[in-house]
Structure 1
């Protein structure tokens, strides 16, 4: 009968065999934790790709240049600079500029429209974080559940053995049960670290977007006050 493990390199075959034994010893809880770990890795990679596409680590240099042009009164140039940019900062700044230039919108309405766009963009940036939060919460619980079930099975075996009980058998059952707790913690720790990191990145994006929108509307308000003062004279 063909055995795939026999045809693998010795080091890799040993690792595969050890991983399989680990899954068998841990029981259903380990299988559940293994599935959760695969989902976690896929979610982290997907989130990194999404944040890269959103320009989370680009620094927002083009958006900063566009806002500077807007401050100088070069509104058309500022909008042209942002027209083909797809980062969240650029999209928010472009929305704020277009809303402010729309003659059909008052200042309050333009600010409300910009806030609506900002909420939608931040919701995109935060996508997937609830999944990581859930994994960080349930992975240790799955491990604890596996440990409790394993301890119950170990003590049932001890009870059935009666006076002939072997302490070594009990010890073996206990360490096998504790495997699930270790596995759950091994999944929860990177999930928690990734969650905190992604939240920090999103908070930075939110700060930059708020700063850009505030500068755009402050300049517009100053322009409006200057026009009123000139008219009064």
Structure 2
């Protein structure tokens, strides 16, 4: 029964691609690319647990109590926020100079944030181009429809004209159907990366404000080390 019920859908899909022409084929490719990217990014976020801060909160609690070695060892370095905090803590314990440590923390944080933002640009392009391609298909379809009407002269069949118009408008509908979810998911991904960046900045600031004492020549108040990484 499942196979029989899927036949009409497949037939409708084929009819949609044939009726819409090249523009709908391009939009179908865009949709497949966007879906692949979205699935990959979801897997990445789940695998990395990018927003997980349970171990970071526990480590910062130990760090503030002065149990620095245990704080570092309790961090899961496979997670972005945990790794950045680990770099900051280890640098403080090794009495790394403030300038070098800030640069290293910023480098590690930027690398993770860039990795999380990977493939965002293709999603943005697909979300921007899809409605424009749909509009282009509609304009081309309308041109063809009115050319057919002109060629028919006084023998114009309203059903033929209306059929040409709905076929032309079909591309706009497909373009919007591709663009709307892609833009929404892209914005959601961007917001998640912004939250990761803000959490990194907050956690590293807490490391520096509760850091172990440094030699006098290296002791200095640390600014927000991730302000340029966001």
Fold-level match, TM-score > 0.5? yes
| Number of corresponding residues | 217
Partner in structure 1 of residue 72 of structure 2: 79
Partner in structure 2 of residue 194 of structure 1: 185
Aligned-residue Cα RMSD (Å) equals: 2.0
Offset of residue 99 of structure 1: 2.2
In the alignment, the residues of structure 2 paired with residue 117 and residue 93 of structure 1 have an alpha-carbon distance, to the nearest angstrom, of: 10
Can you give the 5+ residue segments of structure 1 that lack an aligned partner in the other structure? 1-6, 229-233
Offset of residue 85 of structure 1: 3.4
In the alignment, the residues of structure 2 paired with residue 85 and residue 74 of structure 1 have an alpha-carbon distance, to the nearest angstrom, of: 18
Give yes or no for the alignment of 1:133 onto 2:124: yes
Residue pairs, 1:134-149, within 5 angstroms: 134-149=125-140
Offset of residue 225 of structure 1: 9.6
Offset of residue 224 of structure 1: 4.6
Residues 102 and 225 of structure 1: CA distance in aligned 2, closer, same or farther (over 3 Å): closer
Give yes or no for the alignment of 1:92 onto 2:84: yes
Give yes or no for the alignment of 1:67 onto 2:66: no
Normalized against structure 1, the TM-score is what?
0.87
Give yes or no for the alignment of 1:217 onto 2:208: yes
Give yes or no for the alignment of 1:173 onto 2:164: yes
Offset of residue 57 of structure 1: 4.5
Offset of residue 98 of structure 1: 1.9
Greater Cα radius of gyration, structure 1 or 2: 1
What do residues 158-178 of structure 1 show as CA deviations (whole Å, max 9, x unaligned)? 111112121221111010010
Offset of residue 220 of structure 1: 2.1
DSSP 3-state at the match of 2:144: helix
Normalized against structure 2, the TM-score is what?
0.88
In the alignment, the residues of structure 2 paired with residue 146 and residue 8 of structure 1 have an alpha-carbon distance, to the nearest angstrom, of: 34
DSSP 3-state at the match of 1:220: coil
In the alignment, the residues of structure 2 paired with residue 92 and residue 128 of structure 1 have an alpha-carbon distance, to the nearest angstrom, of: 22
Deviates more, 1:161-170 or 1:206-215: 161-170
Partner in structure 1 of residue 44 of structure 2: 50
Partner in structure 2 of residue 163 of structure 1: 154
What do residues 136-191 of structure 1 show as CA deviations (whole Å, max 9, x unaligned)? 10110111111111111111111111121212211110100100000000011100
Consecutive aligned runs of 4 or more in structure 1 exceeding 4 Å deviation? none
In the alignment, the residues of structure 2 paired with residue 81 and residue 101 of structure 1 have an alpha-carbon distance, to the nearest angstrom, of: 15
Offset of residue 28 of structure 1: 0.2
